[in-house]
């Protein structure tokens, strides 16, 4: 790592110490600085709630010479406002663009907040298709988990700039490369790559500290390919979909290694004639250190079993 980035890490540590000293004890979101103009906004683990306003994920933003680019808009209108409050700790520049990296509610249901303030919303075609297909289910679930008060003002605002597989743009001297690498956790999972800074926002292609979720709309086989697409960029820092900023090595251990292990274990179980009703017998204890292990291990194995029946 070059001297400039080493100094940036030291400055980041000083900044985070200052923020921690002045933050309220009940702050749900935490700022993490990666470079002189790149930030992660780290939300909590656990479920969506009235306290976190649907922001149980990691987001980010980049301050450029011409304005701010936000990566993922939050899980509600008020959730987006909470992300914007973190941005205002750093800069008073306007948000010029918001990139939605995937189909989950916390990636896009805050779009209306930023759209009202003049931001362009950018997403892959597959991402927006997923948004449209799952909107009613997401709004129903959030209404129960976050509550009507927490969801006040939240409405569906879809991206107004779409791309198929790849696109790029430069704003204020910073280049952004967008790569639709999914399907992974969701069909539209997208990487946001800053080539000069060697930083990638992975969206839900990477989980760290928390067990990832293989859902009915996920694709565990292609998820491994999507991870490898990200790894081929050789990023120095990764902003994951869940958890704090990490290295590629840590991303591999918490995400790629688990996906590979799970698919191999389920495949062997099926080859031996195992029934889906007995899938819980697979030993996943090497990954018991991950948050939500007990909640997700069985469901993940069952979902991968169902996928592999048709592969």
Model confidence at 16, pLDDT cuts 50, 70, 90, reads very low
Residue 149 has pLDDT above 50, yes or no: yes
Quote the CA–CA distance of 29 and 41 in Å, as a whole number. Answer: 6
Residue 291: the pLDDT is 97
Domains, in order of start, for the chain: 3-248 (3.60.15.10)
Residue 122: the pLDDT is 98
* Average pLDDT value for residue range 167-195: 98
pTM of the model: 0.90
Residue 18: the pLDDT is 35
Longest Cα–Cα distance of the chain, Å, equals: 61
Q: What would the pLDDT profile of 200-234 be if each residue is shown by its tens digit?
A: 999 999 999 999 999 999 999 999 999 999 999 99
User: Do 76 and 110 touch, CB atoms closer than 8 A?
Assistant: yes
Quote the CA–CA distance of 75 and 19 in Å, as a whole number. Answer: 24
The residue ranking higher by pLDDT, 309 or 19, is: 309
* Average pLDDT value for residue range 94-123: 98
Residue 145 has pLDDT above 60, yes or no: yes
User: Do 44 and 28 touch, CB atoms closer than 8 A?
Assistant: yes
Q: Which residues, 6 or more positions from 98, have their beta carbon under 8 angstroms from its beta carbon? A: 69, 70, 71, 72, 73, 111, 114, 115, 119, 120, 121, 122
* Average pLDDT value for residue range 22-42: 81
Mind giving me the DSSP string for 255-294? IIHHHHHHHHHHHHHHHTT--GGGGGGS--GGGTTSBTHH
Quote the CA–CA distance of 15 and 17 in Å, as a whole number. Answer: 5
Mean pLDDT of the chain: 92
* Average pLDDT value for residue range 268-294: 96
Residue 27: the pLDDT is 75
Residue 24 has pLDDT above 70, yes or no: no
Model confidence at 12, pLDDT cuts 50, 70, 90, reads very low
Residue 17: the pLDDT is 36
Model confidence at 185, pLDDT cuts 50, 70, 90, reads very high
Residue 135 has pLDDT above 90, yes or no: yes
The residue ranking higher by pLDDT, 89 or 10, is: 89
Alpha-helix runs per DSSP H in 74-191: 77-87, 111-116, 125-145, 147-150
């Amino acid at each position: 790592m070059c001297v400039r980035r080493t100094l940036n890490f030291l400055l980041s540590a000083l900044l985070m110490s200052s923020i921690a000293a002045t933050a309220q004890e009940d702050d749900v979101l935490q700022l993490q600085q990666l470079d002189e103009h790149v930030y992660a906004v780290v939300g909590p683990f656990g479920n969506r709630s009235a306290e976190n306003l649907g922001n149980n994920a990691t987001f980010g933003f980049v301050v450029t010479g011409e304005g701010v680019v936000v990566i993922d808009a939050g899980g509600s209108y008020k959730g987006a406002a909470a992300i914007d409050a973190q941005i205002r700790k750093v800069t008073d520049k306007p948000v010029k663009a918001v990139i939605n990296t995937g189909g989950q509610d916390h990636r896009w249901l805050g779009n209306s907040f930023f759209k009202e303030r003049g931001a362009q919303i950018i997403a892959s075609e597959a991402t927006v298709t997923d948004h449209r297909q799952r909107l009613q289910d997401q709004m129903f679930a959030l209404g129960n988990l976050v509550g009507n008060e927490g969801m006040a003002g939240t409405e569906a605002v879809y991206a107004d700039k779409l791309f198929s597989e790849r696109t790029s743009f430069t704003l204020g001297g910073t280049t952004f490369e967008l790569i639709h690498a999914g399907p992974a956790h969701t069909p539209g999972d997208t990487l946001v790559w800053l080539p000069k800074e060697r930083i990638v926002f992975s969206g839900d292609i990477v989980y760290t500290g928390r067990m990832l979720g293989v859902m009915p709309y996920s694709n565990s086989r292609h998820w491994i390919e999507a991870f490898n697409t990200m790894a081929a960029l050789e990023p120095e820092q990764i902003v994951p979909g869940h958890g704090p900023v990490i290295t590629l090595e840590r991303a591999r251990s918490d995400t790629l290694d688990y996906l590979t292990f799970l698919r191999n274990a389920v495949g062997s179980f099926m080859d031996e004639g195992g029934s889906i009703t007995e899938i819980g017998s697979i030993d996943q204890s090497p990954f018991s250190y991950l948050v939500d292990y007990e909640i997700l291990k069985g469901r993940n194995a069952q979902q991968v079993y169902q996928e592999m029946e048709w592969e």
